[in-house]
Structure 1
Amino acid sequence: MKLKYITTLISGTAVLLSVSCKKELTDLNKNPNSSETAQPEYLLTAASKATADTYWGTSNNMDASLLFVQHWAKIQYTDPDRYIYTNTGFQELWTVGYTRGIYNLNQIIKLADAQVNPNPNYKGVALVLRSWVFTLLTDNYGDIPYKQSSNIAQFVTPAYDKQKDVYFALLDDLKNAQATLDPAGKAIAGDVIYGNSITKWKKFANSLRLRIALRIADREPEKSKQVLQEIAAEGSGYISSNDEIAKFGYLDSPNQNPISNLFDTRDDYRVSKTIVDKLFDLNDPRLPVYISKTAAATPAEYVGLPNGLLPGDASNIGFTKTSKPGAYFLAPKAPAVIISYAEVLFDRAEAAARGFTSEDAEDLYKQAIQASFNQYGVSGSTVDTYLAQPKVQYNAANYKKSIGEQKWIALFGQGLEAFAEWRRLDYPVLQPAVQGVLDGKLPVRFIYPGTEQSLNGANYRAAVANQGADALTTKLWFDVN
């Protein structure tokens, strides 16, 4: 997987974080004995690994979005669970997203365009991954640099694009990627997601298009419908089985899953009481997969921790009497899931419920739940028993509730995606943290990194003027209700 090259390939370029050096200094720093052109396969591996690590890691997942959607809770150092952050609290997604993700993927695109014998599949794959990274950024911050972020030499302090414009541009990028990717074309190397299966990359591209089309559906339903019609006409389809899940697979230490790495040395996270109670209420067979039994014997065996307790109150409940995430998620090789088959089915169900397609929403909803069960090794009559429960049965009159609650369960561990979907669908109904500091509200976005205020101040202020206060409680454009 060429992971040993990652450290040397991750760019040190201070994109969006500092002013550029003068050209003369840049020239002095050139090494005459080394190549100035990186190989696309190494850039691809590096960008995939760096983005997966921050997407699945501490700052954006465990210390933020997983707490916001009440999948996880904190039993020590509970400030994040009470929505207390400094202006560096959300730095990592921005920094890694731009400097190690988008920068390297832009280099791949430039290399693909400049080569005498180009390989368009590198460009297509890079466009798909770059669209995913941009989606993570705009989903969480709102307005972000998009157009000017591709040329850091010219735009040291890039302007922010409005969220609507970013989403529309990403839909165009993914359409372009879809047309560029050619299963009969040249093979690519360094692909640690699909191992050079360009057919699967085309399905991944369409699945991302579907995700974004639904992000904007409450604002721009006609555009959403148009995108889905284009996907149907193109014919490559969506991710269509659990074998086609878009995910980054980890190895043993030191290239292990970030969650596994953290739990090797720390003990300050537990599973939220909110989701444990929901799984119990629905007799959900995913409970023992998602949740570990308490270390000490307890009547329920699986015990969640309320979100947002004061440190003393949280620890007094008991480290050994509250549940950690399940062994599946703590394993070194547990994958970072980007888009699951279950999510795609839920998205197709919603598209049908909105009248964007002629598919059967209820049938797709049932298939989505079954796909989630199968993803975690649950099969057989258990699925039918679960689906038969009145609390689980599809409600066409309130499809957002049915899909929102079940998607929230299926996205366990995927904090950033669960956070975006909870804001968009408004289900499940969550109560603010017990000792939250937002006047009875829950967070609905990330705040911009403090470095943007100091190093890109004029553009930062313009974005805030357009979008609203740079606060956790300011709703983004896509978040209508």
Structure 2
Amino acid sequence: MRKIFNIAAALLIVATGCKKFEDFQTDPNKPTVSTPDLLLSTVIQDAFQSTTLGATLATRQMVFVNSVSNEQYYGWTRAGFDTYNDLRQVVKMEEEANRMDKPEYVPLVKFFKAYYFLKLTNTFGDIPYSDALKGENGGLSPVYDKQQNIFVSILDDLKAANALITNTTPEVQGDILYGGTMEQWKRLINTLSLRTLMSLSLKENSASLNVKARFAEIVNNPETYPLMTGNADNGELVFHDVLGTRYPTYNDNDLQTAYYLDATFVDLLKGLKDPRLFRFAEKAPKYVSLPDNDFAAYAGAKGSDPLNDNSTKVLAGEVSKIKSRYFNNPVNEPSIAVGYAELQFILAEGVVRGWINGSAADYYKKGVQASMLFYGITQPSIDEYLTTNPYPAADQLKAIMTQKYIASFMNSDWHFFYEQRRTGLPAFDVSGGGVLNDKKVPKRWMYPVTELQNNQANVNAAIGSQFSGNDNINGIMWLLKAE
């Protein structure tokens, strides 16, 4: 009996010994592969959270009074390549969709790749694109693609993504944005295409890019290229009072104590008698006895003024804080990444530039209305505002960009900073004594230190071809050179 037991034990040891070491590292209770629907939910959460406090400082909508902010005073230097981590999640979703034979996820993959690569190239200029995300297969030293080629590829991918969604495309699962409604994804994709084309306005005379014709093709063929029809189509992240899904600045102590409205932004809203001011700001303590809808009760601090000057004004009760709902409401409002109001302003600008026919005034009105409805302004107040602030006969682009600017408050990530960089409208104040960078608004961010350490030859080649070897925040990337 003992002999039989020993033989059985020996066989067990031999059988066990045939297993690889990695087999012992696998927890049978934890899946080693994900599914595209689970990945899609995560990708949407990461991509569409577009409330960025640093952007509100750089665009002169708010000021920070706890310390000197590099965003506010234009003293930033380098940015990181963290967005490539987001892109790797998109690639993982693509791999799992292919593994499970779920082609309906492919157009969404193309959208997210376009969305993230746009963010990267807007930040730096030339970036790793063709060789990016290849991991071990492509090595750790990807070459940098020219910004022009990246934009062309992005536009081609978005066009392909639109074509891949048809009446027979199955609904995707895990869609916390549109609940699987593919037609709304199609509208979002085409709206991002128009945003991308408008960002190329300085290249409108380039025959190779053909920006005007591409723009008109989308607008003039709504059956092939449907666009957003209202705020219900917004590419926005809705928040819930559940851990991990609350509004991003909920219970943010700095927002409660150190963020105030910028004077130039407040004065702009007061000059227009814009009721959105009452949704953005609290009354300044000095004027707290005035009615909530009295514009005289609101004031700001100049983002360009030295920190001590602004702190003194705050202590004197002369500056309005951001509205308390932004830090005490766990749900507050959605965070818009790409929205209907922005689309209307893009179309209005397209008419002004002569790219398409139509009524710029109508697009302008629709954009203003959509923004005001989003912020909870009543229809009678909207009607009164549009009567007081009609679409102008002159300075039309200025009016469009001003409304686009207001509509970007606490959403759209850094997009409006790039829009102002493109048009110069509205001007960002640099008159105060606190501004760094020789009182200039930067044009970009320098490449990450990690690239200089790990990919030196390729990043130096990119710096040399774009900026004559000088990687600096005032360098003029290809996108900003008129043709």
Of residues 410, 423, 440, the one that matches 2:407 is 410
The one-letter code of the counterpart of 2:110 is L
Of residues 136, 140, 143, the one that matches 2:123 is 140
Counterparts of residues 58-457 of structure 1 (less than 5 Å): 61-63=52-54, 65-80=55-70, 81-85=72-76, 87=78, 90-91=79-80, 94-95=81-82, 97-99=83-85, 101-115=86-100, 118-155=101-138, 156-221=140-205, 223-231=210-218, 232-233=220-221, 235-252=224-241, 253-263=243-253, 267-295=257-285, 297=287, 300-318=296-314, 320-330=317-327, 331-333=329-331, 334-389=333-388, 392-395=389-392, 397-414=394-411, 415-432=413-430, 434=432, 435-457=434-456
Q: Using the alignment, how far apart are the partners of 1:183 and 1:264 within structure 2? A: 48
Count of residues in Structure 1 that have an aligned counterpart in Structure 2: 440
C-alpha contact (below 8 Å) 2:77/2:445 kept by paired residues: no
The one-letter code of the counterpart of 1:287 is L
Q: Using the alignment, how far apart are the partners of 1:339 and 1:440 within structure 2? A: 31
Q: Using the alignment, how far apart are the partners of 1:279 and 1:201 within structure 2? A: 34
C-alpha contact (below 8 Å) 1:119/1:186 kept by paired residues: no
Once the two structures are superposed, residues 375-434 of structure 1 have per-residue CA deviations (whole angstroms, 9 ceiling, x without a partner) of 222233433332334xx4434654321211111111112341110111112111222162
**TM-score, length-normalised on structure 2?**
0.84
Q: Using the alignment, how far apart are the partners of 1:40 and 1:195 within structure 2? A: 15
Q: Using the alignment, how far apart are the partners of 2:203 and 2:24 within structure 1? A: 48
The one-letter code of the counterpart of 2:69 is D
C-alpha contact (below 8 Å) 1:120/1:181 kept by paired residues: no
Cα distance change on mapping 1:180 and 1:219 into 2, 3 Å: same
Cα distance change on mapping 1:460 and 1:31 into 2, 3 Å: farther
Q: Using the alignment, how far apart are the partners of 1:354 and 1:380 within structure 2? A: 30
The one-letter code of the counterpart of 1:479 is L
Once the two structures are overlaid, the 10-residue window that deviates more, 462-471 or 404-413, is: 462-471
C-alpha contact (below 8 Å) 2:466/2:477 kept by paired residues: yes
Structure 1: runs of 5+ lacking an equivalent: 1-25
Q: Using the alignment, how far apart are the partners of 1:72 and 1:264 within structure 2? A: 13
Q: Using the alignment, how far apart are the partners of 2:283 and 2:323 within structure 1? A: 8
Q: Displacement, 1:46?
A: 1.7
Segments ≥4 residues shifted beyond 6 Å: 26-30
Cα distance change on mapping 1:263 and 1:200 into 2, 3 Å: farther
The one-letter code of the counterpart of 1:322 is V
Once the two structures are superposed, residues 24-80 of structure 1 have per-residue CA deviations (whole angstroms, 9 ceiling, x without a partner) of xx9899747565432111211222223344x42xxxx323x2222101111111232
C-alpha contact (below 8 Å) 2:64/2:259 kept by paired residues: yes
Q: Displacement, 1:86?
A: 5.4
SS at match of 1:218: helix
The one-letter code of the counterpart of 2:76 is Y
**TM-score, length-normalised on structure 1?**
0.84
- Which has the greater radius of gyration? 2
Instruction: Find the counterpart in structure 1 of residue 475 from structure 2.
Output: 474
C-alpha contact (below 8 Å) 1:68/1:443 kept by paired residues: no
Q: Matched residues, percent identical?
A: 28
Q: Using the alignment, how far apart are the partners of 2:371 and 2:178 within structure 1? A: 20
SS at match of 2:127: coil
Instruction: Find the counterpart in structure 2 of residue 3 from structure 1.
Output: none
Q: Using the alignment, how far apart are the partners of 1:289 and 1:382 within structure 2? A: 13
The one-letter code of the counterpart of 2:424 is D
The one-letter code of the counterpart of 1:142 is G
Q: Using the alignment, how far apart are the partners of 1:28 and 1:98 within structure 2? A: 30
Q: Using the alignment, how far apart are the partners of 1:213 and 1:248 within structure 2? A: 24
Q: Displacement, 1:148?
A: 1.2
Cα distance change on mapping 1:378 and 1:79 into 2, 3 Å: closer
Q: Displacement, 1:348?
A: 0.8
Structure 2: runs of 5+ lacking an equivalent: 1-20, 291-295
Q: Displacement, 1:286?
A: 0.8
C-alpha contact (below 8 Å) 1:289/1:327 kept by paired residues: no
The one-letter code of the counterpart of 1:130 is K
Once the two structures are overlaid, the 10-residue window that deviates more, 185-194 or 271-280, is: 185-194
Once the two structures are overlaid, the 10-residue window that deviates more, 458-467 or 315-324, is: 315-324
SS at match of 2:381: helix
The one-letter code of the counterpart of 2:191 is S
The one-letter code of the counterpart of 2:179 is G
Q: Displacement, 1:447?
A: 2.5
Q: Using the alignment, how far apart are the partners of 1:408 and 1:470 within structure 2? A: 29
Q: Displacement, 1:111?
A: 2.8
Q: Using the alignment, how far apart are the partners of 1:478 and 1:165 within structure 2? A: 11
Once the two structures are overlaid, the 10-residue window that deviates more, 226-235 or 143-152, is: 226-235
Cα distance change on mapping 1:108 and 1:230 into 2, 3 Å: farther
Instruction: Find the counterpart in structure 1 of residue 13 from structure 2.
Output: none
Q: Using the alignment, how far apart are the partners of 1:335 and 1:371 within structure 2? A: 14
